[in-house]
Amino acid sequence: MDDYKSYCAALMKVYRKANHMTQKELAEMVGVKHLTLRAWEQNVASPPYEIWKQIKSLLFGGIAG
């Protein structure tokens, strides 16, 4: 589970910044509080799989598995 959390945290932050988005903007797009998104990026918690799929779709343009 730690590998999943680390993977999500690292990719989310890198690709969010590459897409010039703030944590608040991304959080609003997926329907969570920005503090929740911050916890995911800081590897404190991990997003539910359905939300992770939504984030990947937004940030990767639907091309990431």
8 Å CB contact between 60 and 21? no
The predicted structure's pLDDT at residue 65:
42
State the Rg of the chain over Cα: 10
CA distance 48 to 19: 22
pLDDT digits (tens, 9 = 90+) for 6-55: 887 888 898 889 888 899 999 999 999 999 999 999 989 888 989 988 88
User: In the predicted model, is pLDDT for residue 64 greater than 70?
Assistant: no
Instruction: Output the pLDDT for position 56.
Output: 84
28-38 pLDDT, tens digit per residue, is 999 999 999 99
Cβ-based burial of 18 (10 A; exposed 0-12, middle 13-18, buried ≥19): exposed
What HEC string does 5-24 produce?
Answer: HHHHHHHHHHHHHHCCCCHH
Query: How high is the mean pLDDT of the chain?
Result: 85
